A and B are shown apart, each in its own frame.
Chain A
Amino acid sequence: MGKIKQNPFVQKVGFNRIVLCFVLFLLYGFFCAMTQGRFAGMNRILSALNYAYFLGFLSLGVTFVIATGGIDFSIGPVMFCCALISGYSLVNHGIPMAAAMIISLVVGLAFGLFNGYLVAYWSVPSFITSMASMNIAKGAASVFTKTQSVSWPQASAEGGWYRNIIKMGNIPVGLIIFLVIAVICAIILNKTRIGRYILSLGSNKEAVRLSGVDVKKWEMIAYIICGLLVGISAIFYVAAYTTVQPGYGDQYNNEAIAGCVMGGTSMAGGLASISGTVIGVFIIALLQEGILALGFTKDYQLIITGIIVIVAVFSDVVARRRKN
């Protein structure tokens, strides 16, 4: 075991990520075998992924927040809020599709700014802040849409082009966009000051502050990035499902956070991996599809993602305890 860990290739890629990939393939093989091959094939994979990109963006977003040592339980409902407000404007006020997309991003950003400001400048615990903005997001969406569900246009209808962001002909546009944005996130996290300060303050905020760094600003930026990604997520959600109902969205919190922590991002802050998050999200998506394909109901998904969060966080706690 020790020898494997010292192999230069393993060190470069990261032992955890190799294990994760292994888990991903094993799981895939398992589902293929259990469903007599119905699960196999690139097309099957891509069509399953179409319904998972939005989750991927949520996971990427929350990775930044968790890297600061915070948490965001509002991502799911805020994502719904973005989709509802922009969709309602689109359908009932007849604004152009592009404008609707921008509204979605702006609403996401606004919530990110709100959460980030409260956490960084007013020192409200992120747990509380995000719980509160979860309710605000749900309520605001309901008020705005008069508690009606919103249906975005079908592919054939006017303005239906937006659904191409997932898939255009045979090109998996969604996958490409997701991976490109993931790479951008990885660059921000690892190559820029934003990422450096976010990770450092997540590890030891006071030491960073006493180095003369404006920690409040950088902490808030993490939440803003998260908000923007939530706004993007909303567009991919409607591109996959078209219909959004007010009052929901919480179930995606757990799934997004599970993908993130499974990928090796530490709940204690200071340690985050975008590539880990990407693989983590794929595992979550695969599990969900697999469970349904095996004939279980959605309820089992909830149980399993719940267990994954606990196992992932617990193993992080154990790893840190061993280090100390």
Chain B
Amino acid sequence: MGEVILTMKDIDKSFPGVHALDHVDLEVRKGEVLALMGENGAGKSTLMKVLTGIYTKDSGTITYEGKEVEFHNTREAQDAGIVIVHQELNMLGHLTVAQNIFIGREFKKGIRIDDRKMNEEAKKLFDRMNIGIDPTETMSRLTVGKQQMCEIAKAISHDAKIIIFDEPSAALTETEIEELFKIIRDLKAKGLGIVYISHRMDEIKVITDRVTVMRDGTYVGTLITKDSTKDDIINMMVGRVIYEDPKTQNMVPKDAPVVLKVDHLNAGKLVQDVSFELHKGEILGFSGLMGAGRTETARALFGADPIDSGDIYIKGKKVTIKSPQDAVRCGIGYLSEDRKRYGIVVQKTVAENTTMASLENYMSGIFIDKKKEKEVADKYVESLATKTPSVDQLVVNLSGGNQQKVVIAKWLTRDCDILIFDEPTRGIDVGAKNEIYKLMNTLAEQGKAIIMISSEMTEILRMSDRIVVMCEGKKTGELDISEATQENIMNMATREIG
């Protein structure tokens, strides 16, 4: 194995309220592929952003080619030879392949752009990579896989010494992945250092030499890929932390009626043939990694995004849900993962937000009965213990946890039987988290049926009665809480492709 080209040592980075990176180490060697793994929010992307100058580190050192460096923006990192190939492609669809590769540093002939030279240079690059892409082709006419190749070609053209792949295979077909791997092996043979970020365990086994695992912003350890098993890596990812009172048994009576049945639901790429049942008084956890299709499933179910096919039954009756209006009429409430965008109207008061979904019940004639509205808002402020000076307070002035309570109040006012909590505690501090948990448990005891989407393993294990695991738009498993462990959930969430 080659010499060390990059060392990141003791990297520390905090954001307001979050210790994103806690003294993390990373080492990249020439001619090797290093996998960087960890759950969502483990700090992988933050670490790469620190490396390429998007974020400034608080402390720690970066040594690159024997010298200590600090890049101030991606351009500086690029010039030094460190390039990221992003998951989302940053290509301009209406330009040609060559124009994209050389954007910002076009060859000139006088004041004119020398397209011929660019095409020739691009051709040389592709020849070196052994791929047949026509440099004069319009970018938008290439497949996603081919576009990715162009990104890589662009990276190489920067004379890169380290290329970071951020989940490169997410949008690729299997043949395209094969091609990608061929290129990566080629680059490796040429002595480049590769960092490969992916959730796909089988790919890690095939393409990488070492695996560095991160968890909760800390460095966990590094393994030699061929000497370790999938379980070794998963164990490192989930850790051995003991979580506070996880649920040990399903609290739902065996004979609880099914309130919601979803049958072979299809909606776009990320919801493929999803089926599940939800019982009265149950908290059904949805686990999976980022992009597994959990939020998409919820949004389709709620009518926020169109459904391609599949049936939805509520209390045994088939229903058609084409819009959120239909869903609300069926008694479904949706608490979005992105409260500020989809949950609340921040410039309106607590009272106005509380009645947003049920305003027709607070009318007297054509006028809004503001007294009645205030009463119900007051009632929920009290019962949910929302901290606000009054119900006339603008929601923008409340903390995240209290905003979440306002959204909960909105759906309780509507008296929904089915509540979908999408990342219910994201961006909420620990104390308020426990309150939200308690509230969800109370709601379940009262007979509400709850779907809880969560990326936090602790949350899933603590709250759920049953767990549905999704991976790449498909349901990959269903577990009762009594048989669920972090390991078997993670196993399902990172299931092999195909």
Contact = CB atoms under 8 A, between A and B. Distances in A.
Interface of A: 187, 191-193, 196-197, 199-200, 203-204, 206-214, 270-271, 323
Interface stretch (B75-83, B258-266, B338-346, B462-470): B338-346
Instruction: List the 6 closest A-B pairs by CB distance, nearest first.
Output: A212-B328, A211-B357, A211-B356, A204-B345, A203-B347, A203-B345
Contact of B344 (A187, A191, A193, A204): A204
Quick one: which of B347, B348, B367, B370 has the most chain A CB within 10 A?
Answer: B347
Contacts of A204: 341, 344-347
B482 interface: no
B317 to A, nearest CB: 19
A208 B344 contact: no
Given A200-B356, A204-B344, A206-B342, A211 B410 contact: yes
B94 interface: no
A207 B366 contact: no
Contacts of B385: none
B363 interface: yes
Contacts of A191: 367-368, 370
Contacts of A200: 345, 348, 352, 356
A210 B336 contact: yes
B376 to A, nearest CB: 15
Contacts of B343: 207, 210
B219 interface: no
Interface string B27-51: 0000000000000000000000000
B341 to A, nearest CB: 6
A208 B345 contact: yes
Contacts of A197: 359
Contact of A196 (B336, B344, B352, B357): B352
A309 B467 CA distance: 56
Nearest to A193: B359
A128 to B, nearest CB: 22
A271 B345 CA distance: 12
A14 to B, nearest CB: 14
Contacts of A187: 367
Interface in B299-349: 302, 304, 324-325, 327-329, 334, 336, 341-348
Given A191-B368, A204-B341, A213-B325, 10 more contacts: A192-B366, A200-B348, A207-B343, A207-B345, A210-B336, A211-B324, A212-B325, A212-B327, A270-B345, A270-B347
A172 B368 CA distance: 33
Quick one: which of A187, A208, A210, A213 has the most chain B CB within 10 A?
Answer: A210
A183 B286 CA distance: 51
A271 B324 CA distance: 25
Nearest to A195: B368
Contacts of A323: 396
Contacts of B348: 199-200, 203, 270
A48 B410 CA distance: 49
A208 B325 CA distance: 10
Nearest to B370: A191
A207 B356 CA distance: 9
Band of interface residues on B: 20 to 34
Contact of A212 (B324, B363, B370, B396): B324
Contacts of A271: 347
A206 B327 CA distance: 15
A206 to B, nearest CB: 6
Contact of A203 (B328, B346, B357): B346
Interface in B385-405: 396
Contacts of A203: 345-348
B63 to A, nearest CB: 39
B357 A213 contact: yes
Contacts of B342: 206-207, 210
Nearest to B327: A212
7 contacts: A192-B368, A196-B359, A203-B345, A210-B336, A211-B410, A212-B327, A214-B325
A196 B368 contact: yes
B337 to A, nearest CB: 12
Nearest to A197: B359
B215 to A, nearest CB: 33
Contacts of A196: 352, 359, 368
Contacts of B414: 212
A196 B368 CA distance: 9
Contacts of B410: 211
A200 B360 CA distance: 15
A321 B366 CA distance: 36
Contacts of B328: 211-212
A206 B340 CA distance: 10
A187 B366 CA distance: 10
Contacts of B344: 204, 207
A239 to B, nearest CB: 30
B360 to A, nearest CB: 8
Interface in B406-423: 410, 414
Contacts of B360: 193
Given A192-B368, A193-B363, A206-B342, A212 B352 contact: no
A214 B322 CA distance: 12
B208 to A, nearest CB: 40
A270 B325 CA distance: 22
Contact of B367 (A192, A209, A214): A192
A276 B327 CA distance: 39
Nearest to B416: A212
A127 B63 CA distance: 53
B341 A206 contact: yes
B358 to A, nearest CB: 9
Contacts of A192: 366-368
B347 A212 contact: no
Quick one: which of A187, A192, A206 has the most chain B CB within 10 A?
Answer: A206
Nearest to B325: A212
A211 B410 CA distance: 8
A12 to B, nearest CB: 12
B359 A210 contact: no
A209 B345 contact: no
Given A193-B359, A203-B345, A270-B347, A210 B302 contact: yes
A199 B356 CA distance: 12
Nearest to B339: A207
A231 to B, nearest CB: 22
A213 B414 CA distance: 12
Nearest to B343: A207
